[in-house]
Chains A and B, each alone.
Chain A
Amino acid sequence: MTQGFAHRRVFGQPSSQAKAYLRAAIWATALGLLVAMPKPVDAEDLSASDKAINAEVKLGDATGKAPTEWLGPKPHFVMVGAYRDFTFDIAVPDLAAATDFALEAKREYRPLEGGKLAYIDFEVAVALTTNGIEREFEFEFENADFSTHARPMTFALKDAEFPEGAFSNLELQIEWEWVEKSVIVNEEQLITDGALTVALEEGSPSADGTVPNGLIGGFVTGTFEGKPIAISFTAPVTEAEIDD
């Protein structure tokens, strides 16, 4: 700031009074800038230790070992890896025994001619509290019709809406507020490098043909910006919706 001001030669060399004004101006401007600058509403301005609190999501029997396959039909959630600046080491092997943790899934359908439904989408939602911060993650998968595939079935991740065949779209969303620090994290990203294996689909159809109950189980591996992530889940289904 001082340097830039001194280079404004159009005003010539300042007098001593002008220098006093100049000093006042510089301080006032600096103060004004400080007042006008936003306080942190993202993680960039945090201290190193606070950055770690914000970015390291560790919960349960975490070992740092990424799952290499689906871990079975007992409701569970294991997620190990990294996404952007965030690292995840979450191990909830038994949902029934978990505290500060919620896991549920939702199925979505699209009407077809003849009154049938295509099972086009499912979401797995996680809510947990770590380091005193309530965090939510959502994983949404799309296919032209998941119900037409045998299980287990592996789908390559792809940037396409409701892709046909052995492909799935994956949208990852992570959200939280660290209230004490005014930090807001809200990230949505398509993961297009990786695979989803759907290992379990169970539940009882309701009158409208949807299955708003039961379980969805699967295994996901993905890579984004060179950072891998692996997830095994078996999630209770609590909702179903027809997208008309």
Chain B
Amino acid sequence: MIDPRCLAWVAAGILVSCVAVQAQDPVMGSVTAVRETEPVDVDPDDPAIWVNPADPLQSRVIGTDKDFGLVVFDLAGKTLQKLPDGRLNNVDLRTVVLGGEEVTLIAASKREDNTIVFYTMAADGSVAHAPTFAYPGAPTQVDDDIYGIGFYKDLAGSLSVIASFKTGDVVQWEIGGTPAAMELRFARQWKLPSQPEGVAADDGLGLLYVGEEDGGIWRFDANPRAGTDGTLVDKVGSACLPVDDVEGIGVVSTGPESGWLVVSAQGVNRYALYPRKPDADGRQPCIGSFGIETGATDPVGETDGLDVTSAALGPDFPAGLMVVQDDRNEGFSRNFKYVSWADVVRALGLDQTPLPTN
């Protein structure tokens, strides 16, 4: 990818030099949020975006409110539903076929009892408890809280759920059965050097990312039957992750192999971007990072959970939507912010062709 700043240099014939600079120097940018949700009651952490296939403008954002439960918002940021289910930390969702029946499943990590709790999303965007609500997060007791959560749906449509624990443990469960009688089968368990949180799978490329808060971004084979050797994509102390914590992780898919990995760099209130597909040497060098500054909303500080979709969700989000937790608003309230992905593409000079116009 070529830094657009280098285009001027093309005229002088030194493109090669610019490409080299780009590879070494991540682009730093900033964007503003398009809007924000209504405040949550306590402390938001992690969002998940449900793209309504029938009417993208009626898509939903599901967010955790850490000491309360789940909150469902529309794209205007209005609170539509509150589910007071306790200390839900992270959330993710997928639409799958289970037992011949299509269902949109939402999973959340519940810290009181280290369980994974499941919800279903109806076609009208309403959220309800799954018939069996709570499943153990780990096959044996883990000595500290369940923390991150993420789904992985492979290209054949098989679903698994991955939970991270504050101990460093990561547990993956295969999901079978039917929506009415879901079964979780233990697949594998491994451990990171220190506390992880963010979990996100790249379904198309079969990759699993887990953020080690003080360490960096780990990449694993997402196949639940695979080994547990990991690759450190980027580590705390780098240009894009200068200080801890590594928090939320999202995969932006713009094609079978194209797109980006977005990672919350909490210590600098920014989001780091990496190419979605590792290069031939397995590297994913940081492309750049951006912050969310004052615009239609206040800025975003202490960046934490996030989710991103490249699906066009109407004129405000023509190239997709990024939803992020915001730890601070005027009046000491907290909420989620909505960012147009097209703005990120422009701010960092990313190559997303064709880029819709606002």
Contacts and interface: CB of A to CB of B under 8 A. Distances in A.
B299 to A, nearest CB: 5
A175 B270 CA distance: 16
B11 A21 contact: yes
B228 to A, nearest CB: 29
Contact of A38 (B4, B291, B294, B331): B291
A136 to B, nearest CB: 7
B279 to A, nearest CB: 23
A207 interface: no
B269 interface: yes
Given A36-B349, A175-B301, A186-B302, A28 B29 contact: no
A29 interface: yes
Nearest to A40: B293
B12 A127 contact: no
Contacts of A33: 5
B290 to A, nearest CB: 7
Contacts of B270: 41
Interface string A7-43: 0100100100010011011111100110011111110
A16 B30 CA distance: 37
A25 B302 contact: no
B192 interface: no
B349 to A, nearest CB: 7
Interface stretch (A46-54, A55-63, A155-163, A177-185): A177-185
A36 B294 contact: no
A32 B269 contact: no
A176 interface: yes
Nearest to A22: B12
Contacts of A177: 298-299, 301, 328
B27 interface: yes
A32 B299 contact: no
A134 B332 contact: yes
B330 interface: yes
A175 B349 CA distance: 31
B280 interface: no
A67 to B, nearest CB: 26
Interface residues of B, number: 33
Contact of A8 (B14, B291, B298): B14
A175 B302 contact: yes
A8 B15 CA distance: 13
B301 A186 contact: yes
Interface size class for chain A? 35 or more
Contact of B330 (A26, A29, A32, A179): A179
Given A32-B4, A38-B29, A182 B293 contact: yes
B134 interface: no
A132 to B, nearest CB: 10
B177 to A, nearest CB: 32
A37 B332 CA distance: 29
A175 to B, nearest CB: 7
B269 A134 contact: no
B293 A41 contact: yes
B324 to A, nearest CB: 13
Contact of A25 (B8, B327, B348): B8
A184 B5 contact: no
A183 B14 CA distance: 37
Interface string B3-40: 11101110111100100000000011110000000000
B11 A39 contact: no
Given A21-B11, A186-B301, A41 B291 contact: yes
Question: Which of A24, A29, A182, A183 has the most C-beta atoms of chain B within 10 angstroms of its own C-beta?
Answer: A182
Nearest to A181: B294
A38 B14 contact: no
B290 A38 contact: yes
B5 A32 contact: yes
A41 B300 CA distance: 9
B262 to A, nearest CB: 16
Contacts of A22: 12
Contacts of A5: 12
Contact of A182 (B4, B17, B299): B299
A180 B294 CA distance: 7
B27 A36 contact: yes
Contact of A41 (B11, B12, B13, B30): B30
Interface string A202-229: 0000000000000000000000000000
A1 to B, nearest CB: 11
B12 A18 contact: yes
A27 B270 CA distance: 28
A27 B3 CA distance: 16
Given A36-B347, A38-B291, A41-B293, 13 more contacts: A24-B8, A25-B12, A26-B8, A32-B5, A36-B3, A36-B5, A41-B269, A127-B332, A134-B331, A136-B332, A179-B294, A184-B328, A186-B269
Closest 6 CB pairs of A and B: A28-B8, A32-B5, A182-B293, A184-B301, A25-B8, A41-B291
24 contacts: A8-B14, A14-B12, A24-B11, A25-B8, A28-B8, A29-B5, A32-B4, A32-B7, A33-B5, A36-B28, A36-B348, A40-B293, A41-B270, A41-B291, A134-B330, A134-B331, A134-B332, A175-B301, A176-B328, A179-B294, A180-B294, A181-B294, A183-B299, A184-B269
Interface of B: 3-5, 7-9, 11-14, 17, 27-30, 269-270, 290-291, 293-294, 298-299, 301-302, 327-328, 330-332, 347-349
